[in-house]
Structure 1
Amino acid sequence: MIWQEISGGWVLLPRNPIGIVHFLGGAFVATAPQITYRWLLEELGKAGFAVVATPFLNTLDHTAIARDVLNRFETIHHRLLVTNALEKRYLPIYGIGHSMGCKLHLLIGSLFSVDRAGNILISYNNYPVRQAIPFAAQFNLTPVFNVEFTPSPEETNELIAEAYQIRRNLLIKFTNDTIDQTIILNPVLETKFPRMVAMQTLPGTHTTPLAQDVNWQAGNEFTPLDAIAQFVKQSFSRDLYRLKQEVLRWLNPVVLS
């Protein structure tokens, strides 16, 4: 499998896919998801899922971003169908988001009519501008310019509670993630869809989904640097593999049976 750029998105197509994943990354790493999330997304491809990763530039208008990434996903999906790159049969579509990507999938599922078999929301983040942009608080910019994301965090929570349509959801938070807000989102979704929402707390940090499985080759002599590199690799790999395992188990339990 190789990455293809199609209609402003990056696509990974396995043979005979069993489902489609629409992936949205975090605010400052979403411009090149095929690179920043490469290992995780390619593992989904190896498991049989077609991956459509939609890049975006972060602005204050999150509603406009959600509309744009959805339009591009639907354009790509249609193009794959008409060119026979995907068979014209039903394939379940799943949204997977990391950090801000979670908020975008929640907005998509609240504001637009979409066909989704479920969403996986990793390290949900819905902070206001003052906390999301470090220098805004440092230089006290928010009172001066009176700026906030659209919708605001409060408006987003109300919108999810009132209008979110995707019934099946997996929420993932990490043990060492200080900016995760999954604990706020979980009861909202559980109230809307009892017994349809699963939550997992996994070892790792906010950046675990961005980790890569680096193949460190030791030299002829095993040095202290090699020992440190192997330790770091094992730590990152363990958390990354656990994340992959839980995502695939939820998407398709047969894959790991």
Structure 2
Amino acid sequence: MDWQEISGNWVLVPPRPTAIIHFLGGAFVATAPHVTYRRFLEQLAAQGYVIVATPFVNTFDHTAIANTVLRSFERTLETLHTTVLRKRYLPIYGVGHSMGCKLHLLIGSLFPVERAGNVLIAFNNFSARNAVPLVEQFSPVFAVEFTPSPLETNQLVSQNYQVRRNLLVKFTNDTIDQTTVLTDVLQTRFPGMVVAQTLPGNHLTPLGPDVKWQAGELFTPLDAIGQWVRQEVYRELHQLERAILRWLDPLASFS
């Protein structure tokens, strides 16, 4: 199972797919999601999920980005359905990290999409002043803000968001997470349909390629240390993967 680029998206197709995940990463790391989120996405694909990871470049117009990534995803989806998937119906889940959460929220609020659910990890909805260092120096006369603004985003979601089933994940050591406010908004809109979990980790927990420690012919103390380090590094990421997989399919078994 290898990554392939289809219509500008990075795609993984497992042998017997059961569903499709549209992944959107965080600002500044979303330009190469198959690299920055490699371990995370490959683990989801190993459990039968087609991964379509859409790269994007951050600008102040988040509505335009949401529209662009949705159209890009739909072009790739059309290609997949006419080739690999042979028009077979598979449910679609949105998975977003940080700014990727906001984009999935905008997609679900502004466009007529069909989603079986969304997974929103470490939601970030900062203003431009807080998110972009020295933003006021770029435009000292006029106030610069994201479109929509944080307040407008919350209002839009509370009134128009159409994806009923949602998993919200926040991490214990994340100082820029704003999941709590979003949880209140979504639980008010869809009572009983929103699951919120707090897991060990920080804002960067979903990131990182998989590091494989190759032991020699004889298992040495150094090999033991290497494997222990790898287990510790990925313990929090593994917990995140398990939480998402359990929510996607509570009856599935996985290691």
For residues 10-52 of structure 1, give each alpha carbon's deviation from its aligned partner in whole angstroms, at most 9, with x where no partner exists.
1100112100000000001000000000011111111000010
Structure 2 distance, partners of 1:236, 1:100, is 24
Shift of 1:212: 3.5
Runs of 4+ in 1 over 4 A off after TM superposition: 140-143, 217-223, 229-232
- The alignment yields a C-alpha RMSD, in angstroms, of 2.0
Q: What TM-score does the superposition give when structure 1 sets the normalisation length?
A: 0.92
Q: For residue 254 of structure 1, what is the aligned residue in structure 2?
A: 251
Q: Does 2:173 correspond to 1:176?
A: yes
SS state at 1:96 partner: strand
Q: For residue 68 of structure 1, what is the aligned residue in structure 2?
A: 68
Q: Does 2:118 correspond to 1:119?
A: yes
Q: For residue 202 of structure 2, what is the aligned residue in structure 1?
A: 205
Assess if the C-alpha contact under 8 Å between 1:27 and 1:99 holds in 2.
Answer: yes
Shift of 1:231: 5.7
SS state at 2:206 partner: helix
Shift of 1:81: 1.1
Give ranges in structure 1 of 5+ residues lacking alignment: none
Bigger Cα displacement from structure 2, 233-242 vs 158-167: 233-242
Structure 1 distance, partners of 2:139, 2:122, is 25
Bigger Cα displacement from structure 2, 214-223 vs 64-73: 214-223
Identical pairs, percent: 61
Q: What TM-score does the superposition give when structure 2 sets the normalisation length?
A: 0.93
Shift of 1:144: 3.0
For residues 70-102 of structure 1, give each alpha carbon's deviation from its aligned partner in whole angstroms, at most 9, with x where no partner exists.
00111111111122x113222100000000000
Structure 2 distance, partners of 1:47, 1:254, is 12
Q: For residue 37 of structure 2, what is the aligned residue in structure 1?
A: 37
Assess if the C-alpha contact under 8 Å between 1:129 and 1:142 holds in 2.
Answer: no
For this pair of structures, how many residues does the alignment match?
252
Q: For residue 51 of structure 1, what is the aligned residue in structure 2?
A: 51
Shift of 1:103: 0.1
Q: For residue 185 of structure 1, what is the aligned residue in structure 2?
A: 182
Bigger Cα displacement from structure 2, 85-94 vs 241-250: 85-94
Matched ranges for 1:87-236 at <5 A: 87-136=86-135, 140-141=137-138, 143-217=140-214, 222=221, 227=225, 232-236=229-233
SS state at 1:15 partner: coil
SS state at 1:209 partner: coil
Structure 2 distance, partners of 1:250, 1:222, is 38
Assess if the C-alpha contact under 8 Å between 1:211 and 1:236 holds in 2.
Answer: no
Bigger Cα displacement from structure 2, 210-219 vs 238-247: 210-219
Bigger Cα displacement from structure 2, 101-110 vs 71-80: 71-80
Bigger Cα displacement from structure 2, 9-18 vs 209-218: 209-218
For residues 141-164 of structure 1, give each alpha carbon's deviation from its aligned partner in whole angstroms, at most 9, with x where no partner exists.
455341110001111011000100
Assess if the C-alpha contact under 8 Å between 2:35 and 2:208 holds in 1.
Answer: no
Assess if the C-alpha contact under 8 Å between 1:120 and 1:171 holds in 2.
Answer: yes
2:238 to 226, 238, 241: 241
Q: Does 2:78 correspond to 1:78?
A: yes
For residues 171-200 of structure 1, give each alpha carbon's deviation from its aligned partner in whole angstroms, at most 9, with x where no partner exists.
000000000000110000000000100001
| 1:31–1:193 CA distance, 2 compared to 1 (3 A) | same
Structure 2 distance, partners of 1:206, 1:230, is 24
